[in-house]
Structure 1
Amino acid sequence: MKNSVSLYLMGLTWLNWRIATISGANLLQQPFNNTFKSRSLKAIDWCALNCPKGPNIACTLKGDCLTIAAPCQFLKLDKARLLDLHNQLRNLFATGNEPQAKGLQVADMMVVEWDDDLAFTASCNLKTCPSSMEHDTCHITPNFMTSGQNLAWAAGVTDCSEQSLKMVHNWYNEVRELSADQLHSWGKSFQFQSGTGHFTQLIWSKVTHIGCAAFEKDLESGRKECMMACNYGPTGNVLGRAMFKEGPPTSACPRGLVANSKHAGLCGAARRNRSFLEAVGAAFPCIVALQRMFSG
């Protein structure tokens, strides 16, 4: 009996690990969440998520990143539009329609989705209502032990929500500073060039999630100052790493993924019509029932 219980618990451990693996690999499209969830120290131990270069910014700020110093105000970003713009630009590049790349196509460009933890650490960067942009040294999350960061600033504008989209366009437009030869070469082995890092982070093929935060500050004559931080998981801009894999779009998608239904040059639609748990439940209903009973 003891051996049977041990084998059963081992099976549950494998089942939970397998479900977590599938969820972490993002094989199934998750419903878009329009709420900005609290990520307090009680919810996540940010101080256990430090980096070799220094402590996690969320740890430094004791998990208090949902309020911002005056006179700044956090902006309610249009997450759907930000996501769609990122995916439009990634799709443009992947499908060979970027003139600067002269027909280069990407075989493994992932569709990106929103991540609340990445958005939370992005808000931490802006917490003090900074007067100038400054990257923080550590903004990893429970799901992303590496994460990249893009920052942007503008002043004298009337609509920071629209400006946030222009900022993403400006990041992408750094491609104009790169030649087709450089892009071909960096696809195999990334080399950093000043003034192009926002673009390369934005189109790094293996990025699967983003999270952004922005603030606005009133100026004279009805104008505003805006600043935005976007964190990307996993990170891009790693020297010597492949920025992407060249080839026909979606021809090298991770196993289980096919072309996205909206952005045909991106990997992101699940082959499976059911979740892994649903599939296991159909085949082994007693195992799943016991797993749910023991997990409460």
Structure 2
Amino acid sequence: MKLLLLALSLFGASFAQFSETAQNTIVEIHNDLRSKVALGEVEIGGSQHSPATNMIKIRWSPASARTAQNYANTCPDAPSGLPNVGENLYFEYSKKKPTSLDKFGPNAANSWAEDFDIYGWNSVIFDQETQDSGIGYASQMVWARTGYIGCGVKNCGVDLNTFTQDYRIVVVCHYREMGNVIDDPIYEEGEVCTNCPAFRSCEEETGLCL
């Protein structure tokens, strides 16, 4: 019985994920950015981007969260290369051992969103130039056809490679459908919410397809 409980405990720990509150915040940050893009409210470098006809309102996926957590548990330094899965990575260092990892999910999402302001965003077509510009994490956040996200987080312990030997926190988010497909549009330009995918309706307030 004790062995069974231990096994269940270890199994649960390996699939530990963000709390429901953190999940909701991560989704909210994504949908806030997606809504701004959909409504044509994004201005970068003095250039106003056109509205989107087909921006889906993203939802949390427990299945994607599991695959993201599995990869986060490996304390990665580079993308996983999983086929047909969009993936964003985030690394943060903490001088003190975190008592909760929930804050790192929103930190990750906000950091990725800032890439548009840092690197610019010149085209809604994800061509090679766009890929090389450094906005890949941000463009995955607003990839119109992406409908689901799930994220995992791991405290990888003290990083002996850092001078101050801080704790290294890794966040992994997986997206379906996968974004950042070369030469595909990040979204379809046109009148807000007029070309939602089949069986989805327009949420006029946000400009997102439900």
TM value normalised by structure 1: 0.56
1:168-187 matches, cutoff 5 A: 168-176=109-117, 177-179=119-121, 182-184=122-124, 186=125
Aligned residues between the structures: 187
Structure with the greater relative contact order (CA < 8 A, sep ≥ 6): 1 or 2?
2
> What is the Cα deviation at residue 65 of structure 1?
7.6
**Is residue 211–residue 230 contact of structure 1 (8 Å, CA) maintained in 2?**
yes
After superposition, the Cα gap between the structure-2 partners of 1:120 and 1:75, relative to the gap in structure 1 and judged at 3 Å, is closer
Distance in 1 between residues matched to 2:49 and 2:69, nearest whole Å: 37
Higher helix share: 1
**Alignment-derived partner of residue 133 in structure 1:** 77
> What is the Cα deviation at residue 136 of structure 1?
1.1
Distance in 2 between residues matched to 1:74 and 1:194, nearest whole Å: 34
Equivalent position to 2:195, from 240, 243, 252: 252
> What is the Cα deviation at residue 206 of structure 1?
0.2
Percent identical pairs in the alignment equals 19
1:106-255 matches, cutoff 5 A: 106-128=52-74, 130=75, 132-138=76-82, 146-156=84-94, 160-176=101-117, 177-179=119-121, 182-184=122-124, 186=125, 191-217=130-156, 224-255=167-198
Amino acid at match of 2:201: V
SS of the counterpart of 1:213?
Answer: strand
SS of the counterpart of 2:196?
Answer: coil
Distance in 1 between residues matched to 2:209 and 2:40, nearest whole Å: 15
Larger Rg: 1
Amino acid at match of 1:166: N
**Is residue 37–residue 49 contact of structure 2 (8 Å, CA) maintained in 1?**
no
1:85 aligns with 2:29: yes
> What is the Cα deviation at residue 194 of structure 1?
4.2
**Is residue 65–residue 124 contact of structure 1 (8 Å, CA) maintained in 2?**
no
Distance in 2 between residues matched to 1:65 and 1:214, nearest whole Å: 16
1:86-101 matches, cutoff 5 A: 86-100=30-44, 101=47
After superposition, the Cα gap between the structure-2 partners of 1:103 and 1:127, relative to the gap in structure 1 and judged at 3 Å, is closer
1:265 aligns with 2:204: no
SS of the counterpart of 2:131?
Answer: coil
**Alignment-derived partner of residue 46 in structure 1:** none
> What is the Cα deviation at residue 224 of structure 1?
4.7
Tell me, which stretches of 5 or more residues in structure 2 are unaligned? 1-9
**Is residue 115–residue 135 contact of structure 2 (8 Å, CA) maintained in 1?**
yes
**Is residue 143–residue 179 contact of structure 2 (8 Å, CA) maintained in 1?**
yes
After superposition, the Cα gap between the structure-2 partners of 1:74 and 1:155, relative to the gap in structure 1 and judged at 3 Å, is farther
Distance in 1 between residues matched to 2:131 and 2:156, nearest whole Å: 33
**Is residue 73–residue 154 contact of structure 2 (8 Å, CA) maintained in 1?**
no
SS of the counterpart of 2:139?
Answer: helix
> What is the Cα deviation at residue 80 of structure 1?
1.3
Q: Deviations over 1:100-121 (max 9, x none)?
A: 1514211110001111111111
Distance in 1 between residues matched to 2:92 and 2:136, nearest whole Å: 18
Amino acid at match of 2:104: Q
The range that moved more, 208-217 or 227-236, is: 208-217
Which runs of at least 4 in structure 1 moved beyond 6 Å after TM superposition? none
Higher strand share: 2
Distance in 1 between residues matched to 2:178 and 2:25, nearest whole Å: 22
> What is the Cα deviation at residue 239 of structure 1?
0.6
**Alignment-derived partner of residue 290 in structure 1:** none
SS of the counterpart of 1:201?
Answer: helix
